[in-house]
Amino acid sequence: MAKDDTLYKIIFLNSGKVYELYSRSASASGLFGFIEVGELVFEDGDSLVVDPTEERMRDEFKDVKVLHIPMHSVIRIEEVEKRGAVHIRDRESGEKITPFPVSPPNRSSS
């Protein structure tokens, strides 16, 4: 893998959820106590199958040039060969979070 092709899997806590995303750069930030994550990597929008988690993260981080994550929120940073699926998991159970809004059932009064 060439140096320009370096890919990192970043796993960190955010608002009580565990985020897993991919980036081309990760280093100590100029801001004390933060990790600097840049060049976030998302799937191309050309796929027929749409991953709602991928879309949610793409929307959440669409205008981000560099993400500064507090060191105490970082769970793990891995240098990987290829990109996998992004995830948002519940911190306690580890289960995937469904990003679709769920509306309460209609209750008609009788």
Taking the C-alpha atoms of residue 42 and residue 6, their distance in angstroms, rounded to an integer, is 15
The rounded distance, in Å, linking the Cα atoms of 95 and 88 is 8
Across the range 61-66, mean pLDDT stands at: 92
Question: What domains lie within the chain, and their CATH numbers?
Answer: 3-90 (2.30.30)
Q: Percent of the chain at pLDDT above 90?
A: 53
- As a whole number of angstroms, the distance between CA 30 and CA 48 comes to 40
Question: 110 pLDDT band (50/70/90 cuts)?
Answer: low
1, pLDDT greater than 60: no
Q: Give the global pTM.
A: 0.76
